[in-house]
Amino acid sequence: EKLSGNVAIDGPAGAGKSTAARLLAQKLGYLYIDTGAMYRALTWKALKRGINVFAEKQLVALAEETNIYLESTTGGILKVYCDGEEVTKAIRQENVSCHVSAVARVPEVRRRLVELQRKMAASNRVVMDGRDIGTNVLPEAPYKFFLTASLAERAQRRYQELLAAGQPAALEKIKEEIHKRDVQDSLREVDPLQPAPDAVIIDTTNLWIEEVVDKMLSIIYERHNFGTGGATNSG
């Protein structure tokens, strides 16, 4: 039976959002949309231009003139483009990670990117991950998840990831960067990181990624069957 309705996934850095979202999109035949990549692409461009990340007006102007494009297919994001230039790898650099929260707190910057995100969801079924998807971008999505994990576990995951990519970094430094970003994302005035009232919260600290995805799938199908009345007990 075909599902109808988008999947929204939010949570702090390293909770497993993008990995889970990608696998879930594969299983459902949905498009995966990584909204964090969009904030990262804009931050990458600002840094390249030497724009101070606290210069709000300049950031807003930059957001207006920047063309961010996600080339995704069902089952996974392929490439991120900024004004036609491929920035898939560049936006993962530490310098971008350290400054992206400052860029993402500017209301007009968010407004512009959210508009793009809603457009992408209008023409496709999507699994979208970020910080404000369930609360703001797709409040009508029937399936909402909020993934969490302990700070130690999330830092450890990022540490392993960087090590595997041949870019080792100190665990303590990673922990600090992630924690700082969590605080900034949670305390900002516009669309802070927080679970939507109807989101299912999953603590992934002690779960394998496959377990997380299985859990999400079973919740999705449970809700789907319930939502369609389960054929029998609707009267």
Stretch of residues binding ligand CDP (CB under 6 A), selected from 16-24, 49-57, 74-82, 138-146: 16-24
Q: How far is the CB of 164 from ligand CDP (least distance, A)?
A: 8
Site for ligand CDP in 113-172 (CB under 6 A): 130-133, 157, 161
Q: Is 15 in the site for ligand CDP (CB under 6 A)?
A: yes
Residues in the chain: 235
- In this chain, which residue has its C-beta nearest to ligand CDP? 36
Q: Is 44 in the site for ligand CDP (CB under 6 A)?
A: no
DSSP string covering 35-97, please? HHHHHHHHHHHHHHTT--TT-HHHHHHHHHH--EEEEEEBTEEEEEEETTEE-TTGGGSHHHH
* Phi, psi for residue 73 in degrees, rounded to 5: -125, 170
Residue partners of 215: CB distance under 8 A and separation at least 6? 202, 207
Site for ligand CDP in 59-78 (CB under 6 A): none
- Has 11 been labeled as part of a binding site? yes
Residue 67, judged by CB atoms within 10 A of its CB (0-12, 13-18, 19+), counts as: exposed
- Has 16 been labeled as part of a binding site? yes
Q: Is 177 in the site for ligand CDP (CB under 6 A)?
A: no
Pick between residue 3 and residue 190 the one whose CB is nearest to ligand CDP.
190
- Sign of the CA dihedral 160, 133, 114, 111? negative
Annotated binding site for ATP: 11-19
Residues that bind ligand CDP (CB under 6 A): 11, 13-19, 35-36, 39-40, 100-101, 104, 130-133, 157, 161, 181, 185, 204, 207-209, 212
